[in-house]
Chains A and B, each alone.
Chain A
Amino acid sequence: EAGVAQSPRYKIIEKRQSVAFWCNPISGHATLYWYQQILGQGPKLLIQFQNNGVVDDSQLPKDRFSAERLKGVDSTLKIQPAKLEDSAVYLCASGTSGQETQYFGPGTRLLVL
């Protein structure tokens, strides 16, 4: 079974630029999560999708972050404009409804200069 795929793996941008991350979840997983993990901290949930609907985006900075999951499969997370404090690893995870576990991708490491 293929795991969660993410791209790019690394990205360096300057502040005020925009950036987009892509995630392809495990086949058949209806739930998709985006997390932000700052160095030395645990993952912080940004947004949770159930199929292509948003379940929880309470911690998503909506003035600069946006996410979509078209057709209930792949998802993209966008930051526009980026700030220095957005430097972090962005993790995508997926899971199935009723299964209280989730599986993570390798993450995208973002550095904002």
Chain B
Amino acid sequence: QKEVEQDPGPLSVPEGAIVSLNCTYSNSAFQYFMWYRQYSRKGPELLMYTYSSGNKEDGRFTAQVDKSSKYISLFIRDSQPSDSATYLCAMSLPGNQFYFGTGTSLTVIP
């Protein structure tokens, strides 16, 4: 079993839709949870990171962590064509050891 599981998609939505991206994990020792956005032929770009269970909001983006279910989500409201990218979830153990999901490819259609 992989440490981090992420549905690779692809996911295609119309502009303005609410997008939900999800990851599950198996290691209860993970402490920090991150979402990265990766455009084609670019390096991953940190979108959000959170430590505790609950929600964290930043503009159109909301990150949700449920440690009891070992499940994290990223919600994108009012999705835009510029949001078209691959979204990677990542988690870290103490000592800055990072584990990544495989990424979900998102296309927002104008």
A interface residue numbers (CB < 8 A to B) = 4, 31, 33, 40-45, 48, 55-56, 91, 93, 95, 97, 100-107, 109
Size bracket of the B interface: 20 to 34
Q: Report which of A97, A102, A103, A107 forms a contact with B98, defined as CB distance below 8 A.
A: A102
B binding-site residues for A, Cβ under 8 Å: 4, 6, 8, 31-32, 34, 36, 41-46, 49, 51, 88, 90, 92, 95-98, 100-103
Q: Evaluate contact between A48 and B97: CB separation under 8 angstroms.
A: yes
Are A103 and B46 in contact, with the CB atoms below 8 A? Answer: yes
Residues of A within 8 A of B103 (CB): 40-42
A/B interface sample: 18 pairs, CB < 8 A: A40-B103, A41-B102, A41-B103, A42-B101, A43-B100, A48-B97, A55-B95, A56-B97, A91-B43, A91-B44, A93-B43, A97-B96, A101-B32, A101-B46, A101-B49, A104-B43, A105-B43, A109-B41
